[in-house]
Structure 1
C-alpha cells in the first residue's frame, strides 16, 4: 500500500464555500480551481462510483483518473478496476456504458469498492498540486451509498465533509471511527417498518484498509433552521465544526416548507418566515456558519458577514462557470438563454424521487419539457435515490421514478410515481456521462439552478471560478477569518 496524503490541519475559515453540486458538476477541476484561491473547493461525492467507471470507459482523457489511481493505497483493486472498465480508445459510437452493479442491502461489495475508489480519486485530484483544504459534499438520503464514498474521501485527505438532504446525525461518529481505522455505521431508514431498520456498516479492514488511521475532517451539516442546528449540535454522534444554512432560493433539493404546505399559481411550494433561520439563535451556538441561497453578489455577501456569518456558500455561479463539470454545450445554452432573459427556474414539488422540492431550469431539450419527460421509458439502472420499505415482512428498495409496475409490486402507491424524474440518469447526462439505453436512446439532462440564475447575465460567457471569487471578495470588507 502506498502512503496516504495527509490532510491540511488548520487554515483560515473561508469566506466562500463552493457548493457540492449534482453528479460531477462540482468535479475535481472546479474544486481545485476554488481551493487554489484559498477558498473552500468542494467535490460532489454523489454517484462517484459511476463517474469513475464512465470516465475510464471514455478513455480517461488527460489520464487524470489513472494518475490518481497510481496513488490509491490498494493497487490490486485499482488494477482490477482498470482491467474491467478502462477502454484506451474510449467507447464506440452508441456504445452504452458498462454499469456498476446495483447494490442491495445484502450484496453491495462491488459498488462499495468502486465508491471508495471514486471518492479517493476525486479528492486526490482536487488536492493535487497545492496545500489548501478541499471538501466533499454528500446527500444524507443516499444511505446505501454514503459510507464508502465518504471513506474514500477521508482516505485521500479531505478537509471538510458537508452533508444535507436529511438529518446527518450519525455522520460525525462515523468520521470519528474512520479516522481511527474503525467501522462506521448508519441505520437504514425503512418506510413502514415497525422497528429499526438494518444497520449499514463500512469496515475499512474488509476493504483492505485495516489499521489505517487518518485525519478526521471537519463536519458541516446543511440545515434550514436554527432549530435543527441546535438539535444536531446537542445530539449528533460526534463533533460538528460549523453549519451551512441553506435558504429556499438555493438550487438542487430544497427542504419542504415547514407546517402546512401551500402552493402558488404555478404549483410551486410557498415558503414563509418559518422557513428562515434565526441568525441570532445561530450565533448563540458558538459555531461558524455560512449562508447559502442567492448570495452571489458582494452586497449579499457583505450582508451575510454583517449578520455574523463566516461567509457564504455559492452554487449557481460556480455551476455555470468554465471550470465546472457541466458539459460545455449545456453550459453555453444556459448562459445564452439567461443573457436573453429566456430562462426561468421552477421549484418542482414532484420531480425528485426523494419527495423534496427540486429546482429545475426550464431549458428546452431537457426533461424539463413535459413531452420529453413523458416520452422517456422509465428505467432504474443506477438506483441512488431508491428508498427502503418493508413489504410483507421484507425490506425492498424502490424508486418512485422506476417503471410503475415495478414500484407498485414493491408496495408503492401509484400517485407517488406522478411527475417523478430519474435524477440519477439526468444528472449524469448534465456532466457528459449520458447512458445509452435500449434502442439507442440517449438519456437527456435536467438542469438545476438556484433562483439566482438572474445573476448569470452579469457574467460573460467563459467566466471562471477565480473571476467569481475575485469579484465577490473585492467588494467585501475585512480579511479572511482565523480558526
Structure 2
C-alpha cells in the first residue's frame, strides 16, 4: 500500500462523514471518517428516518445481526420523528458503560467505515481523539470490523493505541489506561474491552490498520515512534494554523492583543529530526494548495493533510443550508479561542462577520451537559471516578470540585458540532442548539472558489487543485 499524497482531515462530528471519505478515496487519496460521537449520530440518523436506507443497509452487513436488529428496532422511525420532538437519549460513557452502549458504538463505527469503503478498493481511515478516551476501544474495534485501513489519532499522547490494534487483530481483549485528574501514584484507572464477552467467541479475523499519530512537537514525535506499544506507521505534523483543536503553546498560555494564543520558539518543529525517525510524515495546517504541497515535498514530507477545504465541499457532512450560507455570505474569519473547548485545548472557531455576534447568540443558550463526550474524569475523595465539564451548569461544576474560573468562556462543543451537521437538539422550551463551526486559519482555496461564484465545489476539485491538475477555483 503506497503512502497517500493527500490525507483528508478527520473533522468531527461527522463533517468528515462516509460520503466525503468515500469520494476522496475514489479519487486515489486517503478518505477519513471522524469517529467522534458516532453512537449518537447513528441514533439520530435512524430517528430522522434513515434517508436512502444507508444506515440499515450497513447494519444488515454487521457481523453480529442480533445486535444490529436491536438497534434498528429501538431507534429507527419510519418517516422520521415529528418536528419539535426531542431525540432519544443514550447513556453517556463512563468507566463501566452498559453493554447496549458498547454494542451501539461498535456498530456505529462499523457502519461509517463500511459505507465509506463500499463498492471500491480505495483506502479509508478513521480519526479519533485521545482526549475522548472512553469510547475509543469500542470505536476502534467497530472500525476494524468495517475494514478500516488507517487509524489516525491526536489530541493527546495515544501511545497505547498501536498495541491495542495489534491485540484486536488477533481477536484478543484490550485495555487502556484512562487519564483521571487528581489520580494518585498508586491509583490504577483502566478501561477494558472484550470482543468475545460482547459478541461471543466466534469472532471474524481482522486486519491490523496502519497507525498515524498526529503530533505537534519533536518530543511527542520521538515518544510515539520509540515508546508506543506497537508500530507507528507515520506521523501527521500539525501546525497551530490547523482547524479544530490545537496543542496548547509549550511555553505556557500567553495571549496576543486579539486574545489568541501566542506560539513561539518552543513550538517550532525541527523537520530534520523528524526525518531522523525514519517514518513517513505529512504536514498539516495551511497546505491546501499545489505550491504548499511542493513545499511539503521539499521538506521531506510524503504529502499533506487538508481539512478546511474538504469541510466546505459538497460531499462533507456540514449542514447544506449552513454551508451555503457561509460560502455565499463570504465574510468570515477564524479565531483561535483559548477557552471555548471544555478540553482546555485551544479551538478554532469560525465567525461570520457583520451578523449577530457569536458571543451574544451563544449567551442565550442554557448551560446543559447532556452528551458528555468532552467531560473530564476526576478522582473523588473516596477513590472512585467522577465526571464534570466546565461547560455544564456552573453550580454543578463547582459542586464537583471544579474551580469556577474554569467555567468562564466555555462552550458546549458536543451540541455545537452536532448542530453543524443538521442534528441540532431541540428542547421542550423551544431552544434549538446553535452550530459551532471550526476551520483552519488559512482558507485561501475556499476564498478562490467563492470569488468565482463556485459554491458547489467537490472533493475531486479540491484534490485536483492541490495536486496541480487544475487551476485553483475552476470546478469540473
Per the normalisation by structure 1, the TM-score is 0.93
Deviations 1:61-87 (A, max 9, x none): 011001101100111111100010000
Distance 1:113 1:365, change over 3 A: farther
Query: In the aligned structure 2, how far is the partner of 1:91 from the partner of 1:366?
Result: 32
> Is 1:267 matched with 2:256?
no
Shift of 1:107: 3.4
> Is 1:380 matched with 2:369?
yes
Shift of 1:197: 4.0
Return the match for 2:289 from 297, 302, 319. 297
Distance 1:107 1:323, change over 3 A: closer
SS in 2 for 1:470: helix
Is the 8 Å Cα contact of residues 96 and 437 (structure 1) preserved in structure 2? yes
Return the match for 2:93 from 103, 128, 136. 103
Distance 1:275 1:337, change over 3 A: farther
What is residue 473 of structure 2 aligned with on the other side?
none
More divergent stretch after superposition (253-262 vs 344-353): 253-262
Is the 8 Å Cα contact of residues 84 and 427 (structure 2) preserved in structure 1? no
What is residue 49 of structure 1 aligned with on the other side?
39
Aligned residues: 463
Query: In the aligned structure 1, how far is the partner of 2:153 from the partner of 2:97?
Result: 25
More divergent stretch after superposition (191-200 vs 424-433): 191-200
After superposition, residues 83-482 of structure 1 pair within 5 angstroms as: 83-195=73-185, 196-208=187-199, 210=201, 211-338=203-330, 342-363=331-352, 369-393=358-382, 394-459=384-449, 460-474=454-468
SS in 1 for 2:151: strand
Distance 1:348 1:148, change over 3 A: same
Structure 2 unaligned blocks of 5 or more: 471-476
Distance 1:206 1:228, change over 3 A: same
Query: In the aligned structure 2, how far is the partner of 1:437 from the partner of 1:43?
Result: 29
SS in 2 for 1:416: helix
Shift of 1:437: 1.9
Shift of 1:454: 3.6
Distance 1:133 1:86, change over 3 A: same
Superposed CA RMSD:
1.5
Shift of 1:365: 11
Shift of 1:209: 5.1
Query: In the aligned structure 1, how far is the partner of 2:342 from the partner of 2:6?
Result: 30
Distance 1:432 1:41, change over 3 A: same
Is the 8 Å Cα contact of residues 333 and 353 (structure 2) preserved in structure 1? no
More divergent stretch after superposition (140-149 vs 247-256): 140-149
SS in 1 for 2:213: strand
Deviations 1:46-72 (A, max 9, x none): 000001010000000011001101100
Shift of 1:409: 1.4
SS in 2 for 1:190: coil
Is the 8 Å Cα contact of residues 224 and 275 (structure 1) preserved in structure 2? yes
Query: In the aligned structure 1, how far is the partner of 2:335 from the partner of 2:200?
Result: 45
Distance 1:180 1:368, change over 3 A: farther
Deviations 1:260-315 (A, max 9, x none): 33211011001123212111011111100000000011001110011110100000
Is the 8 Å Cα contact of residues 131 and 156 (structure 2) preserved in structure 1? yes
Is the 8 Å Cα contact of residues 268 and 346 (structure 1) preserved in structure 2? yes
Shift of 1:465: 0.2
SS in 2 for 1:303: helix
Shift of 1:475: 5.6
More divergent stretch after superposition (301-310 vs 466-475): 466-475
Shift of 1:367: 10
SS in 1 for 2:443: helix
Query: In the aligned structure 2, how far is the partner of 1:88 from the partner of 1:46?
Result: 26
